[in-house]
Amino acid sequence: MIKRNTGFSNLTAGYLFPEVARRRREYAAGHPDAKIISLGIGNTTEPLSPHIAKAMSDYALALSTPEGYSGYGDEQGNSALRSKIAEVFYPRMADASEIFISDGAKCDIARIQTLFGSKVKVAVQDPAYPVYVDGSVVAGAAGKNNGNGYEGISYLPCTPENEFFPDLSKIEKNTLIYFCSPNNPTGATATKEQLKKLVDFANENGCIIIYDAAYFAFIRDKNLPKTIYEIPGAKTCAIEVNSFSKPAGFTGVRLGWSVVPNELKFEDGSSVNRDWNRVMTTLFNGASNIAQAGGLAALDEQGLKDMTAQVDYYLENGRLIKNVLEGENFRSAGVVAYFTGNGPYVWAKFPGKASWDIFDKILDECHVVTTPGSGFGPAGESFIRFSSFGHRADIEEACKRLSLLKL
């Protein structure tokens, strides 16, 4: 018989979000009258912009006409969309040949591990979005979990003590560094100075940065970089992964992109962009053409305005959550809430408590689902992530209940 891939036997426990969903289901089954509100998974809740939805609707209907029909497109994405993304988000920073359209950032992160294989050293921020680690384990780039994380992965603590920016001196040469800004789960958004340090370190030490910018649209502070390519030198050391999920509400529609600069090279001088092109043409077959039509509409004048309004809505939710977490009941228990106004998550520390205990307590007493910080890595222990995605009325109701939580 065929052996199980050790990458899978090494993976411990379930993927974080299915586990959160399981606990929620179990609680709901035992408490059928509880009106549960989710501030857990970062899942968009507000309807699409009518402008963007109409573009997809029209495109889908036209597929039933000879003029409007289209079969396989280019696996790298519709060239008009690639150009438009370059023009809107990367002026003088990247061109269309460096933009690859995907079915979302998570899927691209999985493919990136295929690109680098099992021999690469990996470093992640701690806490971090679980897919960086889980994907590395599946790809064989990490070993067993020794209880404090997987062998072969460097965990770089990002905590209030270091302003959520890692100690780069802990990273070995020639490492693949996953870095997320605005950060999931901490919400921290790297400054230009911080990113410059990161880029310089990578260039000096032969590292490649996988820069996850999926929350870039939440950045409101004009001094904060929205893409790593604002930093000189980034094109020789960084891939940027990005998404329409959060700005356009495309979590279910599925559309994202990655930027793989032509300047980026492997040790043997060969082009990373060329191998990525091979990944996308050989192991992928293009994002849905309907979703891509939506992406184009999202990037015209009306679409950009609508996306900004949608993100503003979620940012206001975040402020409401932050305010309640600064209430007397939380303050007297020593809780500190971090919310920058430039990301979708409120990250709160409950000193001396275990994340899953606080998760269960909030679920039980407030009927509010959150995400336990420890699910994002060892340094996330004692933290809870509150997602600002939700209908305003639900957020207000959740805040009311949280204000009564006894800690």
Instruction: For residue 68, say whether it is annotated as part of any ligand binding site.
Output: no
Euclidean distance between CA atoms 153 and 133, whole angstroms:
8
Q: Per-residue contact track with its own copies, 27 to 46, x per CB under 8 A?
A: --------------x-xxxx
Question: Is 106 part of any known ligand binding site?
Answer: yes
- Backbone phi, then psi, for 364, in 5-degree steps? -70, -45
Q: Judge whether 242 is annotated as a binding position.
A: no
* 118 near its own copies, rule: CB under 8 A: yes
For its own copies, the closer of residues 195 and 253 by Cβ is 253
Cα 348 from chain centroid (whole Å): 18
Closer residue to its own copies in complex, CB, 74/151: 74
If one asks whether residue 120 binds its own copies (CB under 8 A), the answer comes out as: yes
345 carries a ligand binding annotation: no
Does 20 bind its own copies (CB under 8 A)? Our answer is no
User: Cβ distance 355 to 383 under 8 Å?
Assistant: yes
Amino acid type, 67: E
| Helices and strands (H and E) in the chain: how many | 14, 13
Nearest distance in Å: CB 285, its own copies: 5
Q: Do residues 325 and 349 make contact, with C-beta atoms less than 8 angstroms apart?
A: no
260 binds its own copies (CB under 8 A): no
Report the nearest approach of its own copies to the CB of residue 271 (Å).
Answer: 10
Which residues have a Cβ under 8 Å from the Cβ of 76 and sit 6 or more positions away?
Answer: 82, 100, 101, 277, 280, 281, 286
**Dist CA 184 CA 182 (whole Å):** 7
Lookup: tokens for 294: 């939506």
List alpha helices for 230-270, DSSP H.
245-248
Per-residue binding letters, 303-322, with its own copies (x by CB under 8 A): --------------------
Site string for its own copies, 169-208 (x = CB under 8 A): -----xxx-----------------------------xxx
- The yes or no reply on residue 233 touching its own copies (CB under 8 A) is no
Binding residues for pyridoxal 5'-phosphate: 72, 105-106, 129, 184, 215, 243-245, 254, 285
